[in-house]
Amino acid sequence: MTQNIIVIGCGTAGAAATLQARKISRDATITIIQDESLPEYSRCGLPYTVNRVIPRIEDIIIHPESFYTGNLVRADLRLNTKALAVDPKKKTVTIKTPEGETDSLSYDALIFATGARPSTPPIDGLDAPHVNRLHTLEDAKQLQTVAKKAKTAAIIGAGLVGLETAEALHSLGLRITVIEFLPQVLPAMVDDDMGVLIQKQMEAKGLTVKLSTTAKQVTKTHVVVADRETNTEEEIRADLVVVATGVRANTSLAKDAGITLGERGGIRIDNRMATNYSNIYAAGDCAEHDDLVTGQSIVSGLGSIALRQGEVAGINAAGGSAELQGVLLARTTHLFGLEIAGVGPTRVVAEKANLPVLAGKFKGSRTAEYYPSEEDVTVKLLANKDTGLLLGGQVIGPCAHQRVNVLCAAISAKMTVRDVADLETCYAPPVAPIREPFTLAAQILALRYERMQEKKQKG
């Protein structure tokens, strides 16, 4: 039985690992090393504190310090403590205490839950005082403060954090320009044709969206950008700037310890969350796991996956047995009045993974067609052109996340698009149409796939 468990990091993965480890072993000593002044809080909730949709920043703290140290968890939570080095042979972790002293802790099992760090794009002037990130609780406090005095804002990056922050600042009355290097918004979440729908909604709300655009320099009053096709430069007025160009797995500690990293730069783990050392595990944004659809390794960056990986790591570190076979990358958000969700690879990702892709799209009403409603649902599905298996789906409209949850189950069950098209679904005029939009999108794909198969057989 494992006696000493050390968890490095107390974000979603680290907290989940701690709780599961304690459930498995009531006797183990569990030590959490956290380099921030607070235990787990929701980084996903940070954009909603900027405009006080979540009234108090402190509301996103999941559990207070006393929760971890109390009788239920009984962990030794060490805040403001930095892990300096890990020695897998001696099974020790060298730490720097809040007082600046060094100490060495022994472990039987170790869990890396070190999360991610914001990436730094090659832009001049990012050290200016009006340039902000949104990765920590302190970042959110700073952004709240500077937003009170600003009238214009430039958001560099049109991923989830960038657009959620743009929406928050826009609701405070700031004039917003979103600058994106790639030719679409939410490029990791939806295909380009679905991104257009989101972009049009943003522009209808009064935001300016600059795609295929490089941010070159931040000055006191502007961001200098260049069109990637024409190389034409332009100055965009910005009293404040938010850099939201993604994150990278925080793996320097693991790398220095000889832990194997994957091709995406994360800590490579198996289905037990174990690394190349059987008693060392990793979970969350620092870990690299398998994509169940493409078969390629990925660093997910999703809180839901960090939670599941953390639970598995904690169970196994405490002497239990659990596995997570891989991830589907189910994702969702709500932006500018649109609910957006997706699962599986985008078309670009699928094709890079050499998957033969067949796509189909359907736009329908969220209610019966004759029932008074102005809310539409757009569904795009991707299938394997050779097998008809469902690969992924994207939905924009009401209940997008629940529709994608059904698609998650369908992909997990290895259903074909014909299987999905034939699913029985609910119907009532004010609630749901007689044919569910994702089954109609699947029907379009199934017919296309079946015709292709017929041609092959004849040909």
10 is catalytic: no
Quote the CA–CA distance of 379 and 417 in Å, as a whole number.
13
Quote the CA–CA distance of 414 and 215 in Å, as a whole number.
42
- Please say whether the beta carbons of 253 and 114 come within 8 A: yes
Which residue bears the tokens 């004759």?
Answer: 370
- Please say whether the beta carbons of 335 and 209 come within 8 A: no
The CA angle 319-320-321, to the nearest 5 degrees, is: 130
The CA angle 441-201-379, to the nearest 5 degrees, is: 10
Neighbours of 289 (CB within 10 A): 27
- The beta strand positions in 199-266, using DSSP E, are 208-210, 213-218, 222-227, 233-237, 240-243, 247-249
Neighbours of 413 (CB within 10 A): 10
* Annotated active-site residue in 10, 44, 399, 426: 44
Quote the CA–CA distance of 186 and 159 in Å, as a whole number.
5
Active site residues: 44
